[in-house]
Amino acid sequence: MWKVVDDRELGKIRPASFASHIQSARASSLHLSNRKEFVTAHKGAVNSFQVDLTEKRYLLSGASDGSIAVYDVQHATDYNGGGLVAKHTSLFVVDKRQDFSHKYSVSSVAWYPVDTGLFMTGSLDHYVKVWDTNTVQVEMNFKMPGKVYGIAMSSVSTSHMLIAAVSEDVQVRLCDISSGAFSHTLSGHRDGVWAVQWSTSNEWVLVTGGCDGAIRFWDIRRAGCFRVLDQFQTQFGRRPPLLKSSTKGSVPESSVASTSASAKVKVPQKKAPCGGGAKQSSINKGWTKGSVLQRQHPGMLSSRNRASAHYGAVTGLKVTEDGMYLLSAGTDSRLRLWDIESGRNTLVNYEAMRLQTNKPIQLAVTPDTELVFVPGLTAARAYDIWSGRTILTFRGHYECVNCCWFNSQDQELYTGSNDRQILVWSPDSMVEEEVENNEKGPKRSLDEDCWSD
């Protein structure tokens, strides 16, 4: 640790590299915190939560008893153990006792991306609700055709205020806060949809995962999905580098071949003078069929439309913060990493895991795209995204873990479980490390003088 600090002082490493190194080291040393504790406000399983994207201060959580709670993760409400353990109680709780609350399990929650004055919730009672944080009142209701499994808002949007909602219905619906009505209905899945995520680099691109095992990409400005991921379309590891052209003005052989092929297909032949009618009709028929296939949307081709990303239902999706890769989890207990630009499976073999099969789960990723946190049965795991190795195992819950969220501001991980608890996993502070080192034995500090007082 101090060697890196010395290298930074000497100018051997850049400030950005120094910050990235410290953050990676802290994220790789998470353990159950003995300094912070959330006092649970839920009487049912914690299904989903999210820290606001503006201040990184308020944790919004939803549970299976229909309750919603908000915590302040930076300012404790009480201290125990001589002021060493910070207790965080909920700032407010909404449960079934209120007439405007959800009547059944809250499956998904989300903050308004640019302000903490609004938040959204989705529930199995078929409703998506928009709440005013200050008054804790429902400002808007959207009635869905089935149980709501997930909601999401784009964190990079500057042109729309759409809530993407997925349910047991095969259609994905976009709820417009500005008008209070549904603006889009996206059709393509053949079964209910459990997972939804917006792209972190394009405000118009939406990703959904369904019980049919398909992961679909949508551009909400056009009809139909433009990509369906196929687990058998693969590439090894990270994205390959761009190929440099050999000579200026040269055309790649593949483009020449495709040009010549298209020229051969599209140029109609003249009618043969003697008995060439049948041959001419077959050529024209093949040319017409090829042109129709080219005009069809790529997501609607029968071969691509039937592609599957998992052998079971897709239970979780997470787009990395750079918008280049997508992580997906399924009921086949597989975690897959996808290159978004090429739409290919990167073939990263993540170590064995057991995932829930009866409900969606919430994945989390570190900002540097090095670790992915996956909730499992009684324990959550941290995997190295590029090698698939298990870096950490978080054991502390008594039942299945449903959701994870990594707070980049405090370098903390929050996990929610069926045991109704929200646990905090934090790295060791530098003060604690110094105390432990001093307990092991006296060591001269690097900045200690040679005076003998």
Instruction: Tell me the range of 97-111, 274-288, 289-303 where mean pLDDT is highest.
Output: 97-111
Least confident of 217-221, 242-246, 302-306, 344-348: 242-246
Residue whose entry in the numeric block shows the structure tokens 């449903």: 402
CA distance 335 to 366: 16
Residue 334 φ/ψ, nearest 5 degrees: -120, 140
Q: Check residue 241 and give its pLDDT.
A: 55
CA distance 129 to 89: 24
Q: Sheet containing 148-153: which strands, arranged edge to edge?
A: 148-153, 162-167, 172-176, 181-186
When pLDDT is cut at 50, 70 and 90, the band that residue 285 belongs to is: very low
Give the tokens for residue 169: 């219905």
Render pLDDT for 365-405 as a digit per residue (tens, 0 to 9).
999 889 999 999 889 999 999 999 999 999 999 999 999 99
CA distance 251 to 448: 66
- Which residues have C-beta within 8 Å of that of residue 225, sequence separation ≥ 6? 186, 188, 216, 217, 218, 297, 299, 300
Q: How large is the average pLDDT for residues 243-266?
A: 41
Contact (CB, 8 A) for 215 and 228: yes
Buried b / exposed e over 232-256, threshold 16 CB at 10 Å, is eeeeeeeeeeeeeeeeeeeeeeeee
Q: Is the pLDDT of residue 267 over 50?
A: no
DSSP codes joined into one string, 55-99: TS-EEEEEETTS-EEEEESSS-SEEETTTTEEEE-EEEEE-TTST
Least confident of 7-11, 114-118, 186-190: 7-11
Query: How far is residue 58 from each of residues 47, 319, 414, measured CA to CA in Å?
Result: 17, 22, 12
Q: How large is the average pLDDT for residues 16-45?
A: 87
The domain made up of 2-237+301-431 has a fold known as: Methylamine Dehydrogenase; Chain H (2.130.10)
Identify the burial level of 196 via C-beta atoms within 10 angstroms of its C-beta, where 0-12 means exposed, 13-18 middle and 19 or more buried.
Answer: buried
Residue 300, sorted as left (phi over 0), alpha (psi -120 to 50) or beta, turns out to be alpha
Using the Cα atoms of residue 93, residue 97, residue 101 and residue 107 in order, give the sign of their dihedral.
Answer: positive
Enumerate the domain spans of the chain. 2-237+301-431
DSSP one-letter code for 362: B
Give the tokens for residue 425: 């996993």
Q: How large is the average pLDDT for residues 423-427?
A: 95
Mean pLDDT over the full length of the chain? 83
Render pLDDT for 120-129 as a digit per residue (tens, 0 to 9).
999 999 999 9
In a 3-state reduction of DSSP, which class is residue 388? coil
Residue whose entry in the numeric block shows the structure tokens 């870096």: 391
- Which residues have C-beta within 8 Å of that of residue 398, sequence separation ≥ 6? 378, 417, 419
Q: How large is the average pLDDT for residues 322-344?
A: 94
Q: Is the pLDDT of residue 273 over 90?
A: no
Report the C-alpha dihedral over residues 399, 196, 346, 376, rounded to 10 degrees: 0
Work out the number of other CB atoms within 10 angstroms of the CB of residue 35: 13
Q: Is the pLDDT of residue 269 over 50?
A: no
Least confident of 13-17, 148-152, 409-413: 13-17
CA distance 146 to 430: 50
Q: Check residue 447 and give its pLDDT.
A: 54
pTM comes to 0.80
- Cα 345 from chain centroid (whole Å): 16
Q: Check residue 255 and give its pLDDT.
A: 40
